[in-house]
Every structure is written in C-alpha cells, then in structure tokens.
A and B are shown apart, each in its own frame.
Chain A
Amino acid sequence: NAGVTQTPKFRVLKTGQSMTLLCAQDMNHEYMYWYRQDPGMGLRLIHYSVGEGTTAKGEVPDGYNVSRLKKQNFLLGLESAAPSQTSVYFCASSPDRSYGYTFGSGTRLTVV
C-alpha cells in the first residue's frame, strides 16, 4: 500500500551511541517532516525538507541531523544519543502545505 514507511519501529540505545531513522514515501511528495511526540507535549517539529537536497530546522533541532539525498527518503540521525531524546518519532509527507500530511506509524526510541 502507498504511504510512509518508518524503520525501525523500536530501538533501545545507550547514551552516546548513534543511529539513523529512515523514512520512505512512495507518493512522490515534495515535503517531508520529522516530529517527536512526548507525553503532554503534542508533536514538535525537528527538521523538515521542501524537496530533494534541501533541509531546514524546525522547533527542536538540537542533537539531530537530517539528509534528503533522494526525494523519497528522509533520514534522521542522532550522533550521540541522550536520555532526553527518548521519544516516539514520526515522519510525515505532503504534496503541498494545504493537503494535509500522511504520517508513518512511528519509531519508539529509548535511550538508557
């Protein structure tokens, strides 16, 4: 089925380790977003991209890096994980700003 696929679905990291979360969409959407969801905080934008080769910072970018080398993929990297990065991470894509987003099913990350 068409949509947004996130891998992995679950991950446990030790403090200081690095990892990359992958988001892939097969809808040819230009816009892609990474959010984190924490209890009582709603969703907060980490980084976003308006097209292949572009990235920009969102509300809470510190400690994260992103890349969009191919239009269909948007990678979120943690270079040195911290317990404060324990969260559920959602990727979303959209053809334009008025259409609404298609969300992935999320990655639950725990940093110990």
Chain B
Amino acid sequence: AQSVTQLDSQVPVFEEAPVELRCNYSSSVSVYLFWYVQYPNQGLQLLLKYLSGSTLVKGINGFEAEFNKSQTSFHLRKPSVHISDTAEYFCAVSDPGGGADGLTFGKGTHLIIQP
C-alpha cells in the first residue's frame, strides 16, 4: 500500500514570501499525485494533480508542484503567498494499477501566513 509523508506539520511564512510544502511518497512503478487545500471549516479542494507527462504541474491560485521520481517527491510551491493562502494542505497518492480503494492522504501541513 502507498504511504505519504508530509515532512512539516506547520509552515509559517511572511506575506509575499515564497513557500515550499514538502511531500514524499512510498515508491511504486507509477503513481498519481494530488495536492488539496482545506480552508477553515470547509471541505477539500483540488489544487493540482500529476498523472503523467511534464513533471512540472501548475494548479489554481498560483501554485505549482514538481514530480521527482528519483526522490519520490511532489513538493508544492508558490512564489509569493497571500494572507488568503492560510489553510491546511494535503498531499495524496493513488496507484493507477491498483484497485479503486481511494487516495492515501498525508497528515497535512498547516500554512500560516504572517503579515
């Protein structure tokens, strides 16, 4: 079974600074990778996904992520954050060759934007 590790439970960063949220997954022949965002008291929204092809994936709200197969990583980045980016961010993985038993989520990273 796949597993996902989000290395930081909290990341504080100043407004307009760049940010990177780290995600590593257990190795597999191939994977689908996702980043979701959860604003307070809301459900999760899909930010971006990697299925195949270009290793740099662009998503909504100015976020992007880079798939690195050799490092088994899928780190999320944004060049300049805003107060509105304060939220919980989840990395998730699924095995395209496996069953339909859902995504495996990391434990989340709380992004805290400081003015």
Contact = CB atoms under 8 A, between A and B. Distances in A.
Interface of A: 4, 31, 33, 35, 40-45, 48, 50, 56, 58, 90, 92, 97-98, 100-101, 103-106
6 contacts: A31-B100, A97-B96, A98-B96, A100-B46, A101-B103, A103-B45
Interface residues of B, number: 24
> Interface residues of B: mostly helix, strand, loop or mixed?
loop
Contact of A45 (B44, B90, B102, B106): B102
A58 B101 contact: yes
B107 A42 contact: yes
B32 A105 contact: no
Given A4-B43, A56-B100, A98-B51, 13 more contacts: A31-B100, A40-B107, A42-B107, A43-B44, A45-B104, A48-B101, A97-B94, A97-B100, A100-B49, A103-B43, A103-B44, A105-B43, A106-B41
> Interface residues of A: mostly helix, strand, loop or mixed?
strand
A92 B51 CA distance: 19
A106 B102 contact: no
Most A Cβ at <10 Å: residue of B34, B44, B102, B108: B102
B102 A58 contact: yes
Most A Cβ at <10 Å: residue of B9, B43, B105, B107: B43
Most B Cβ at <10 Å: residue of A4, A100, A104, A106: A100
Nearest to B49: A100
A45 B34 contact: no
Interface of B: 9, 32, 34, 36, 41-46, 49, 51, 90, 94, 96, 100-108
A30 to B, nearest CB: 9
Given A97-B94, A101-B44, A105-B43, A33 B102 contact: yes
